[in-house]
Structure 1
Amino acid sequence: MRLFNSRNYRLWAAADLVSVTGTWMKVLGVNWFVLQATGSTTSMGLALMLQTLPILLFGPLGGALADRLPVRRVLLVTQAAHAVLSAGFAAVVLFGGHLSWLYLLAFLTGLVSAADGPALGRFGGMVSGPALLSQALANGSLISSTGRIIGMSLGGVVAATAGPAVLFLANAVSFAAVIAALLAMRTSSLHQLAAAAPAERGAVRAGFRYLATQPTVLVVLGVAFVLGSIGRNYQVTMAAMSFGPLSGGPAGYGVLSTVFAAGTVLGAIVVGRFRELRLQLLVGAGVVASVLQMVAGAAPGLWSFAAVLVPIAAAAVIVDTTVSTRVQLDTREDMRGRVLAAAAVVSALGGMVGAPVLGALCEAIGPRETLVVAGAIGVLACSAGAVLLLRRSAEVPVLAE
């Protein structure tokens, strides 16, 4: 694979795997600690919301900073900040700090992520270059899925034997791998993007004005929002099915989560085989995931439901990777940070909106019916997106790449 001929990419991929593994260990650690301290899933959800909220509030500003500042330096600062905050989580556990300290740290983590996310995306493009960006994002999906499986599996053992503080410390150390990779890279081999945006007032507004002139990107983000909220909040529907009609309980939910993670690995492998990730692939994978979601609603037992989850998870990864690729390749390089920030806001908003809506639907009409309704909405959204994109096919060359 051409990407791995690059020393910079090998360093970046290795650091990414270590960092993602540490991040999922930390996610498990937060959930474990909050549930032990409160016994409340609502409190656990609050911690998650506090990490997401800053991305909604300050993500566009983070994108503007990523377009303006040298991203390698930004990442050195943000990765160090993440390491300090993760060590702070460990201190709260070890020294018996009040839960409010953990909530504060969760919010600060989200604040750093608001600047960190767009910078990571922009720097990833510098490591791979535009010709290999699709391949790099596909590899990134595989790394994320693998890191999630390793982090959750290893984290469960560590949490049970040594406690959540060790998970937070391991996450803090994982950021050192990214910092070391950044320092070890050959800057002369990085692919330089378009000149960074000059310092100016209204850089965030300029980003929104630019997006308003990119109807294709807006359609892609709109489809991604629907699929990511109503169509694809699987953690909610998997839990509702396992604890409801499938009678799987906690053990069944664990099986479904593991199967879903395995499906994301399969999806990352499949998407890596495409030379180009076109808009048609986004629509097609979205329709497949949505139709299969409707089929899952009729699954008679736990294992039949799990079997349908595998291609659903694979299609979800194809959708996410194609969205990430298109919003970068189909927009100006000097606006890339702000576009990536907008995509992150859409993703975060989809999670925050979709989870409670799906939860309410599961309670009101039942988990099976919710899956059917959500799948139907996904099909409609993809169909509407396809119609809008076809109307622009004469104006948007990317559809015929």
Structure 2
Amino acid sequence: MFAPLRERNYRLWAAADLVSVAGTWMQVLGLNWLVLSATGSAATMGVVVMLQALPVLLLGGWGGALADRLPARPALIVFQAVRALLALALVVEPGQLWPIYAVALASGVISSVEGPCLGRFGSALVPPSALGSALALGSVLSSAGRILGMSLGGILVGVTGASSLFAINAVTYLVVIVALAVMRTGSMRVLAASPPGEGGVRAGLRYLAGQPVVLVILALSFVLGSLGRNYQVTMAAMVAGPLHGGSASYGLLSTVFAVGAVAGGLLLAGSGRSTLRILLASGLTISLLQLCAGLAPNMLGFAALILPIAAGAVIFDTVISTRVQLDTREDMRGRMLATLGVVSSLSGIVGAPMIGWLCDALGARGALVLAGVVTSVAAVGGGYALARLKGRSLSVRTFVAALPVVGRRTADQLA
């Protein structure tokens, strides 16, 4: 289950990543607090999110090509140093909107290259057989860091103000820099480099066009991401609407979702499996559960469904990332990860407004049911397409057998 942790470099990276994620979410909380305090506008918060996502969408292809050429470790040290300076810029100009916009835009530009670099670097820390477990443990650490960062940030913002959260975040980037600096380069896997003439964006697009399995996986990621991933919107709509809850209820559901995300990461890390069958089974499972969530009679029933939905979503997303890396050439990995980042950005940009509109037009229950039906059909269609590409037959067992196997293997390892 914890095979990646046997690698010293991965242990350093995992510890630094936990600290960094916690700092990042402290800064997110501080920024949200500042924007709402200064403007009282949720739309302004949306602008900040858009400024972070837009560069990834527009520059992702070039960022991936650059990531395939750059030495990952030195590049990441530079990116972390720049992010630390951006966090400090928020400390210098607290309460002003223009530095918030500037930092959001600059962060998005950095992410367009840093994201693919992170993926390539992570795969160099562990052998290919442990990549799935490493990514799953990374999901656990991200969820744990989010809980830790939001909890500490919620306490500190009322005591010391938002500026202290930005300063703490700057320090967490220094922790990552130290971890990168003390890693043993001799223990890292050397990833293949692109041959001459194959290092550009067009070469990456040509390669992707010849990978039908990856294209189907990306299509599934987009459909299920746009209609089945915007849980913050649907949870808020259900709480404010048919469930007749308040802010406390929404906070409870957010906590339940975070716990489910951690459980899903541990489940997948324990199995050590990131197969296409698990991808399809988890995708169909969370789609059907989403449909059922729209019919939940009360808050308790809705929370009981949110827990496995969160676990399944982490499994689905992690297997997507694993397959995109393992089913493509190493010298194309940065560009493929950049493409996945673009798809994720598109699913958020397209899906969040669409789900919000459906909630307004059909009600929260109707939106969840309709989205659940569409994503279920997409999961079955994706399974059929992948089965044809692999020369196999599609059966009900393809969808229902994978997740119990994951759970059973995990239980055996924990026993």
- TM-score over 0.5 for the pair: yes
**Structure 1 length normalisation: TM-score?**
0.95
Does structure 2 retain, via aligned residues, the 8 Å contact 1:231–1:377? no
Structure 2 counterparts to residues 166-177 of structure 1, below 5 A:
166-177=164-175
Residue 177 of structure 1 deviates from its aligned partner by 1.2
SS of residue matched to 2:271: coil
Match of 2:116, as an amino acid?
Answer: P
Structure 2 counterparts to residues 363-374 of structure 1, below 5 A:
363-374=360-371
Alignment match, 2:91: 90
Residue 78 of structure 1 deviates from its aligned partner by 0.8
SS of residue matched to 1:276: coil
The separation in 2 between residues aligned to 1:35 and 1:303, in whole angstroms, is 30
Alignment match, 2:333: 336
Percent of pairs with identical residues: 55
Match of 1:313, as an amino acid?
Answer: A
Alignment match, 1:267: 264
Alignment match, 1:392: 389
Does structure 1 retain, via aligned residues, the 8 Å contact 2:264–2:315? yes
Q: How well do the aligned residues superpose, as a CA RMSD in angstroms?
A: 1.4
CA offsets 1:345-383 (integer angstroms, 9 cap, x no match): 101110111000000110111001100011111101111
Match of 1:52, as an amino acid?
Answer: A
The separation in 2 between residues aligned to 1:5 and 1:201, in whole angstroms, is 35
Task: Judge which range, 234-243 or 163-172, deviates more.
Answer: 163-172
The separation in 1 between residues aligned to 2:42 and 2:93, in whole angstroms, is 20
Aligned residues: 392
Q: Does 1:319 align with 2:319?
A: no
The separation in 2 between residues aligned to 1:2 and 1:197, in whole angstroms, is 33
The separation in 1 between residues aligned to 2:360 and 2:27, in whole angstroms, is 30
Alignment match, 2:297: 300
Does structure 2 retain, via aligned residues, the 8 Å contact 1:3–1:9? yes
Where structure 1 has 5 or more consecutive residues not aligned to the other structure, the ranges are none
Residue 394 of structure 1 deviates from its aligned partner by 2.9
Q: Does 1:348 align with 2:345?
A: yes
Residue 12 of structure 1 deviates from its aligned partner by 0.7
Task: Judge which range, 254-263 or 325-334, deviates more.
Answer: 254-263
Alignment match, 1:66: 67
Alignment match, 1:102: 100
CA offsets 1:137-176 (integer angstroms, 9 cap, x no match): 0110111111111111111111121111111111111111
Does structure 2 retain, via aligned residues, the 8 Å contact 1:68–1:197? no
The separation in 1 between residues aligned to 2:5 and 2:103, in whole angstroms, is 36
Alignment match, 1:78: 79
Does structure 1 retain, via aligned residues, the 8 Å contact 2:198–2:204? no
Alignment match, 2:111: 113
Alignment match, 1:178: 176
Alignment match, 2:218: 221
SS of residue matched to 1:193: coil
CA offsets 1:228-275 (integer angstroms, 9 cap, x no match): 111221000001111111111222111111110111011011111222
Residue 196 of structure 1 deviates from its aligned partner by 4.6
The separation in 1 between residues aligned to 2:198 and 2:120, in whole angstroms, is 21
Q: Does 1:32 align with 2:29?
A: no
The separation in 2 between residues aligned to 1:13 and 1:166, in whole angstroms, is 24
Does structure 2 retain, via aligned residues, the 8 Å contact 1:22–1:151? yes
Residue 201 of structure 1 deviates from its aligned partner by 8.6
Match of 2:171, as an amino acid?
Answer: V
The separation in 1 between residues aligned to 2:224 and 2:160, in whole angstroms, is 38
The separation in 1 between residues aligned to 2:77 and 2:194, in whole angstroms, is 18
The separation in 1 between residues aligned to 2:213 and 2:340, in whole angstroms, is 13
Task: Judge which range, 310-319 or 375-384, deviates more.
Answer: 375-384
The separation in 2 between residues aligned to 1:202 and 1:20, in whole angstroms, is 31
Alignment match, 1:279: 276
The separation in 1 between residues aligned to 2:117 and 2:199, in whole angstroms, is 19
Residue 91 of structure 1 deviates from its aligned partner by 2.0
